[in-house]
Amino acid sequence: MMASTTVVEASVADDHDHEACRALGQILDRIGDKWTVMVVGALSRGPLRFNALMRTIGGVSHRMLTLTLRALERDGLVTRTAYLTIPPKVEYELTPLGRSLIEPLRVLSGWAIENRPAIESSRAAFDMAGEPG
């Protein structure tokens, strides 16, 4: 890792920046909603049933969890397996495609954890300048 040092300052741009930004915009439209990454994170440990998922995530409504899971299923990131028992049992699991998303998300969450303090102090300074007294 680390690559060359000069690359660190390189742009996301270069030749194909336009495509990269469009693709990035699309994927963020998709996973940038309130619950998708939470679901992927919860399922990254292994399959979970609907209500277990709900408890694991916490704070998600019945409705939104359903919608989020449908969207993930539609995109091929999650599989849904229904066991026609009484009471019903439905398991959700990441597909290989879904699992392949974990690493990119890890990179991003690593950045978030590492830089959160800097962001928060920047916010404090910015807000201080605005509301002096």
Partner DNA sequence: CAGTATCCGATTGGATACTG
Partner DNA sequence: CAGTATCCAATCGGATACTG
Stretch that binds DNA, among 7-15, 81-89, 102-110, 114-122 (CB under 7 A): 81-89
Rule CB under 8 A: which of 74-133 touch its own copies?
74-77, 97, 99-113, 115-116, 118-119, 121-123, 126-127
Helix (H) or strand (E) holding 48: strand 48-49
Contact call for residue 33 and DNA (CB under 7 A): yes
Q: Interaction with its own copies in 1-30: which residues (CB under 8 A)? A: 8-13, 17, 19-21, 23-29
Tokens 């920047």 locate to 122
Q: What is the CA radius of gyration of the chain?
A: 19
């194909």: which residue's tokens?
A: 16
Element housing 79 (H / E): strand 78-83
Interface residue with its own copies among 40, 48, 54, 65 (CB under 8 A) is: 40
